[in-house]
Amino acid sequence: MWRKIVVKKTLTAASALLVGVTALAGCGDSDASGGDGKIVMGFAQVGAESGWRTANTESIKQSAEDAGFELKFSDAQGKQENQIKAIRSFIQQKVDVIAFSPVVETGWDAVLQEAKRAGIPVILTDRAVDSEDTSLYETFLGSDFVLEGEKAGEWLVENAAESDVDGDGDINVVQLEGTTGAAPAIDRAEGFASAIEADPSIEVTASQTGDFTRDGGKQVMESFLNSEDGIDVVFAHNDDMGLGAIEAIEAAGLEPGVDVKIITVDAVRDGMAALAEGKINFIVECNPLLGDQLMDLAEQVLDGEEVPERVVTEETTFTQEQAAEVLPDRKY
């Protein structure tokens, strides 16, 4: 491992020299690679907006420790500018590899060019960037968010009769979107919309961001309950917003899961508990335990091995009965 890292760092320095990198000028001499031979990874996390994110952060930290990496972890508190600053700081510190989960899809090319010029490989985890230049990153590890949205929509199409709770022949869906501009918000909305086209009685009548937070989901649901007539179904882009919607529905004197059907994405413990209790009707899984795969990919990249451009996480779905069965052993 040590020898390979030395070789890698030598190549990195050489390639940076070759392109006449200016990004590092004036940044000091602090080289993050310790003499202890550990791989140094800079990880720029989105924040701590949801149960999913907490589980993801724990997975990254634990897997880095297990793999013997030195992890430089930064929490962007939901702000793209903070992630960009963190990535620049990782470049200045000359980490071996940078990994990050982009808050939003666009606006990354400049900072990723800087990492490329410095010869530091970048791995995307969880969320994609919208860039035409795929040479700016080595690989993208994460879920297929479009498929997740499709699975949610397909369940609704299959359960349309029971989901028309007011029995008026139309299924009115309100959508709690994730963070505006984030890949999972864009893709889940797209997948859901394409799946419900199969049944013209299903319509998304209102859609607004709850920013992937419980509080955001609660506030948006309160406003939907005041402004929208005959809400049959909530499609929340994550469990946390669905859990916030449950609070708003109960506060309005309605029974979640019965008077208003609820579909969410993630399958974190709190969401699964609400599903098993009958307050949520269906959850599409989004697996946050990406740490081990990320460390493996980083080692392969640093060893000069070919890695796939895209590594898709395997995921399933849960009904209320399935949630009750698996809940006792749920890891997150």
Stretch that binds ligand AHR, among 47-55, 165-173, 249-257, 308-316 (CB under 6 A): 47-55
- Indicate the residue among 53 and 261 with the shorter CB distance to ligand AHR: 53
Rounded Cα gap, residues 137 and 298, in angstroms: 12
- When the beta carbons of 117 and 237 are compared against ligand AHR, the nearer one is 237
- Of 105, 114, 126, 138, the one binding ligand AHR (CB under 6 A) is 126
Among 114, 150, 164, 266, binds ligand AHR (CB under 6 A): 266
Residue 124 near residue 133 (C-beta atoms within 8 A)? no
∠ CA(221), CA(222), CA(223), 5° rounding? 90
- The answer to whether the beta carbons of residues 122 and 141 sit under 8 Å apart is no
Least CB distance from residue 307 to ligand AHR, whole Å? 21
Q: Which stretch binds ligand AHR (CB under 6 A): 46-54, 89-97, 155-163, 196-204?
A: 46-54
Which distant-in-sequence residues (6+ apart) come within 8 Å of 67 by Cβ? 39, 292, 295, 296, 299
When asked if residue 177 is in the footprint of ligand AHR (CB under 6 A), the reply is no
Residue 4 has what DSSP assignment? H
Q: Find the binding residues for ligand AHR in span 294-323 (CB under 6 A).
A: none
286 lies in the site for ligand AHR, by CB under 6 A: yes
Radius of gyration of the chain (CA): 22
What residues have CB less than 8 Å from 180, skipping those under 6 apart? 104, 209, 211
State the minimum distance, in angstroms, from the CB of residue 143 to ligand AHR.
Answer: 7
Residue 127 is a binding residue for ligand AHR (CB under 6 A): yes
Q: Is 212 in the site for ligand AHR (CB under 6 A)?
A: yes
Minimum distance from CB of 127 to ligand AHR (Å)? 5
Closer residue to ligand AHR in complex, CB, 114/126: 126
Task: Please report whether residue 265 would count as binding ligand AHR according to CB under 6 A.
Answer: yes
CB nearer to ligand AHR: pick between 63 and 287: 287
Q: Are 192 and 150 in contact (CB under 8 A)?
A: yes
Which residues make beta-bridge pairs with 266? 285
Residue closest to 76 by CA, chosen among 179, 5, 199, 214 = 179
Sheet with 317-318, side-by-side order of all strands? 202-209, 171-177, 233-236, 261-266, 282-285, 317-318
- Does 49 contact ligand AHR by CB under 6 A? yes
Does residue 45 belong to the site contacting ligand AHR (CB under 6 A)? no
Q: Any contact of residue 184 with ligand AHR (CB under 6 A)?
A: yes
Question: How many residues belong to the site for ligand AHR (CB under 6 A)?
Answer: 13
Instruction: Name which position in 12, 32, 38, 53 contacts ligand AHR (CB under 6 A).
Output: 53
Q: Give the integer Cα–Cα distance in Å for 161 and 159.
A: 6
Tokens in use for 250? 């109960």
H/E element holding 93? none
50 is a site residue for ligand AHR (CB under 6 A): yes
Give least dist CB 241 to ligand AHR, A: 8
Interface residues with ligand AHR (CB under 6 A) are: 49-50, 52-53, 126-127, 184, 212, 238, 240, 265-266, 286
